[in-house]
Amino acid sequence: MSPGHRALFQRCGAIILFVGICLGALIYWSAPPAVDAPGYADSALAPDDSRRYAHDTEVYFGKTGALADKWTRTLADWGKPRPLGITIVLVSVLLAGGCFWAAQRRE
């Protein structure tokens, strides 16, 4: 790899790392404080977290549907501000690490 390509990969890695950390920190710290979930009169769990919900989902949609429902709810939780900020930082660190690794490769 030529020195020009190495420098390009290093600059791209540095930019990705800087922007990712700044953006992730901004999203994380500007998030509103967490609000406690509303209490339910007969249960400490939200209706979506009950065994009955999981059973009914599996009966109506099968194991694949139950798994898809679980993944959908997990991804929706990642879209909340604090987990989103952490995810952005982690992805930018991985991408920047890939750029730095590519810059160090010798062919």
What tens-digit pLDDT sequence spans the chain (107 residues)? 788 889 999 999 999 999 999 999 999 999 887 665 555 555 566 666 678 888 888 888 888 988 888 888 888 877 788 888 999 999 999 999 999 999 998 76
Phi-psi region of 35 (alpha: psi -120 to 50; beta: other; left: phi over 0): beta
Strand partners, 33: none
CB-side neighbour CA atoms (13 Å) of 92: 19
The residue whose two tokens read 């989902």 is 57
User: For residue 43, which phi and psi values (nearest 5 degrees)?
Assistant: -155, 150
Q: What is the pLDDT of residue 54?
A: 81
Q: Give me the pLDDT at residue 36, please.
A: 59
What global pTM score does this model have? 0.66
Domains of the chain, residue spans? 3-30+47-104
**Confidence at residue 107, expressed as pLDDT on a 0 to 100 scale:** 65
Tokens of 49: 């977290």
Give the per-residue pLDDT at 24: 94
Give yes or no for a contact between 27 and 80, defined as CB atoms under 8 angstroms apart: no
Task: Look at phi and psi of residue 8 and say left if phi exceeds 0, alpha if psi is from -120 to 50, else beta.
Answer: alpha
